[in-house]
Amino acid sequence: MALTTNKAVLNWIDEMAAMTQPDQIVWIDGSDAQIEALRAQACATGEMEKLNQELLPDCYLHRTAVNDVARVEDRTFICCHRQEDAGPTNNWMDPQEMYAKLKKLYTGAMKGRTMYVIPYSMGVVGSPFAKYGIELTDSIYVVLNMCIMTRVGTAVAEVIGDDFVKGLHAKADLDPENRYIVHFPEDNTIMSVNSGYGGNVLLGKKCFALRIASYLGRNQGWMAEHMLILGIQNPAGEVRYLAAAFPSACGKTNLAMLIPPEHYRKAGWKVWCVGDDIAWIRVGEDGRLWAMNPENGFFGVAPGTNEKSNPNALASTRRGTIFTNVVHNLDNNTVWWEGLDKNPPENAVDWKGNPWNGKTSDVKGAHPNSRFTAPAKNCPCISPKFDDGAGVPISAIIFGGRRAQTTPLVYQSRDWNNGVFVGSIMASETTAAATGAVGVVRRDPMAMLPFCGYHMGDYFKHWIEMGEKLGDKAPKIFNVNWFRLDEDGNFIWPGFGDNLRVLEWIIDRCEGKVGAEETAIGYVPKAEDINLEGLDFSIDTLKSILAVNKDQWATEAEGIEEFYTKFGGKLPAELRKELDTLKANLK
């Protein structure tokens, strides 16, 4: 039975059903009973496997098709009327042409299948900054993931208006040649076909909460960003909130759930996770910048997650979690992945579904982009503000990426526009989160390259205008790099919990409590101002990763220059000026 009488909703569903021709239509009310029934059904067909319910209550395992394991950026489109509105960094096609192309792929695609109707909210249902969507899908896996990642069901259906975001997903034949992830920002519409993987099909996440929302945010004066949000509580009990943008698989989930080093814990420091991937940001009534997490769960990278690196993420996955493309340990019916522990199972099944022995096999058991979908409420350090629809006030914005060289451990921009420049020149070595080569340096402004729903030049301008609105209440902007390598290819900085040492400096800078050294690129800490207590790390090594090498930066400036030419006349003059200043500083 339909959960709403809203005509706009019902008419659209009728139209999509007429095209895809499902055998039946089922509304998702979000109840435990319905979720339990869907889990049982998915297990009966082999779509999911029920894991050891004593060790992992309500946890399940799913394997995707082997050619369907990451976001497909080359098949992701922004279809607006004018090509120049999509800009040089997005794939574009004329909307009418794309609708016609997709219609062929969707026609009859749900024959013999069920169409599930998922009313969902990005943000706390009924809060002023929440936005609603409906995803139609023929995948139970998608339904169950959406029920973890977003707020789903009757309460949403009751408040949904005419401006909801329409999302249609059909697995079709999972044909990679006909896989399309398409956004029509001007129609509030997302269409995804021939995939069953994460960011391609959980339409509330990257498709809505970043690509469509960034477009809406620009028109409405707010921002949708690929950022974690965390609160840092000092021994005096004061909490400061930071938002940080790193590209996919570059450490957002880890930083968002950081456990302070022992000496900090003893002194009374605590970290609270507000969000690990997406932030919706606006200027609050008090003139400060406020951020809220529109999601309700974590779609986290499994490999590398362990009791030491991220115990909070691991704890989050111990109940109600769906694991995708990890190793299935047949001895105790649990899961495993590279970097979980040093004891891989011998009697196991790998992510492709083949028998796997972790002691003797020379192939990886889990896919490098294997993931867990875990409810946010499981996280031991979830912020008391998590369910506060207003979000939290932001003291600092942090950009960062994976750079073996060049970028120091941390530096602070000189002011807001210089900070926007720092975000715009972000570069990172590519990871397994998207298909394509891994380890190649690419420019990824604000970690939004694959997620900006409009012209990136206009996006930069929007950032600059947000700064004008904020004036002297603007947060300070920083850049971090946890990933500097030594000659042998080892990470120099210990990272993870020890990153708090860098965050402490950042907060002190925001509060004017600590000095810095001015360099060609901005303010860098004096090595003695980073607290190394309890850490076996020499001050000389620290100096080496704080150093700004002018030759490397001169090469970097050339790369930036080349990247900027892409944007032509849309590159804001403010950023051009920042690049000129950088070049002059390097002389």
Which of ligand GTP, ligand SPV, Mn ion, none does 71 bind, CB closer than 5 to 8 A by kind? ligand SPV
- Closest-approach residue to ligand SPV (CB): 199
Would you say 276 or 498 has its CB closer to ligand SPV? 276
Has 59 been annotated as catalytic? Answer: no
Whether residue 435 contacts residue 71, with contact meaning beta carbons closer than 8 Å, is answered with yes
Footprint (CB under 6 A) of ligand GTP, residues 96-125: none
- Binder of ligand GTP out of 102, 433, 477, 502 (CB under 6 A): 433
Give me Rg for the CA atoms of the chain: 23
Provide, rounded to whole angstroms, the least separation between the CB of residue 62 and ligand SPV.
14
The verdict on 141 binding ligand SPV (CB under 6 A) reads: no
Residue 358: CB atoms within 10 Å: 18
- Closest-approach residue to ligand GTP (CB): 495
- Binder of ligand GTP out of 393, 436, 495, 559 (CB under 6 A): 495
Q: Residue 277, annotated ligand binder?
A: yes
- d(Cα 133, Cα 166) in Å, to the nearest integer? 6
Provide, rounded to whole angstroms, the least separation between the CB of residue 440 and ligand GTP.
17
How many residues touch ligand SPV (CB under 6 A)?
9
- Binder of ligand GTP out of 250, 376, 420, 571 (CB under 6 A): 250
Provide, rounded to whole angstroms, the least separation between the CB of residue 277 and Mn ion.
4
Q: Residue 237, annotated ligand binder?
A: no
Q: Which residue in the list 59, 79, 207, 250 is annotated as catalytic?
A: 250
Would you say 466 or 480 has its CB closer to ligand GTP? 480
Pairing of strands 327-329, 297-301: unpaired
User: Which candidate, 206, 229, 585, 584, places its Cα nearest to that of 385?
Assistant: 229
How many Å separate Cα 188 from the centre of its chain? 21
Q: How far is CA 342 from CA 307, 313, 482, in A?
A: 12, 18, 24
- What residue ranges bind Mn ion (CB under 5 A)? 248, 277
Q: Residue 197, annotated ligand binder?
A: yes
How many Å separate Cα 253 from the centre of its chain? 8
The verdict on 253 binding ligand GTP (CB under 6 A) reads: yes
Which of ligand GTP, Mn ion, ligand SPV, none does 227 bind, CB closer than 5 to 8 A by kind? none
Instruction: Pick the piece of the chain touching ligand SPV (CB under 6 A) from 197-205, 260-268, 350-358, 510-518.
Output: 197-205
Helices 416-424 and 456-470 sit at what angle, rounded to 10 degrees? 160
Which of ligand SPV, ligand GTP, Mn ion, none does 482 bind, CB closer than 5 to 8 A by kind? ligand GTP
Give the contacts of 105 (CB within 8 A, at least 6 positions apart): 170, 172, 178, 180, 193, 194
- d(Cα 581, Cα 186) in Å, to the nearest integer? 37
CA-CA-CA-CA torsion for 541, 545, 547, 551, nearest 10 degrees?
Answer: 120
Instruction: Pick the piece of the chain touching ligand GTP (CB under 6 A) from 7-15, 248-256, 467-475, 554-562.
Output: 248-256
Q: Residue 131, annotated ligand binder?
A: no
Footprint (CB under 6 A) of ligand GTP, residues 465-484: 482-483
The verdict on 277 binding ligand SPV (CB under 6 A) reads: yes
Residue 145: CB atoms within 10 Å: 24
Q: Residue 501, annotated ligand binder?
A: no
| Amino acid present at 140 | I
Which of Mn ion, ligand GTP, ligand SPV, none does 499 bind, CB closer than 5 to 8 A by kind? ligand GTP
Provide, rounded to whole angstroms, the least separation between the CB of residue 449 and ligand SPV.
11
The CA-based diameter of the chain, rounded to the nearest angstrom, is: 70
The verdict on 248 binding ligand SPV (CB under 6 A) reads: yes
Give the contacts of 315 (CB within 8 A, at least 6 positions apart): 378, 379, 380
Helices 456-470 and 213-220 sit at what angle, rounded to 10 degrees? 50
Q: Residue 486, annotated ligand binder?
A: no
The verdict on 372 binding ligand SPV (CB under 6 A) reads: no
Residue where the block lists tokens 């059903």: 17
- Closest-approach residue to Mn ion (CB): 277
The verdict on 367 binding ligand SPV (CB under 6 A) reads: no
User: Which candidate, 338, 339, 355, places its Cα nearest to that of 347?
Assistant: 355
- Binder of ligand SPV out of 136, 398, 433, 506 (CB under 6 A): 433
- d(Cα 249, Cα 226) in Å, to the nearest integer? 12
Footprint (CB under 6 A) of ligand SPV, residues 284-303: 299
Residue where the block lists tokens 């400061």: 240
Beta strands in 311-430 (DSSP E): 322-324, 327-329, 334-336, 348-349, 355-356, 371-375, 392-400, 410-412, 427-429
Pairing of strands 165-170, 189-193: parallel
Footprint (CB under 6 A) of ligand SPV, residues 64-103: 71
Q: Site residues (CB under 6 A) for ligand SPV?
A: 71, 198-199, 205-206, 248, 277, 299, 433
Q: Please report, as ranges, the residues that interact with ligand GTP according to CB under 6 A.
A: 246, 248-254, 276-277, 300-301, 303-304, 309, 433, 482-483, 491, 495-496, 499
Binding residues for Mn(2+): 206, 226, 277
Active-site residues, by number, are 250
Binding site feature residues for GTP: 249-254, 371, 402, 496-499
* Residue ranges at the known binding site for substrate: 71, 197-199, 248, 369-371
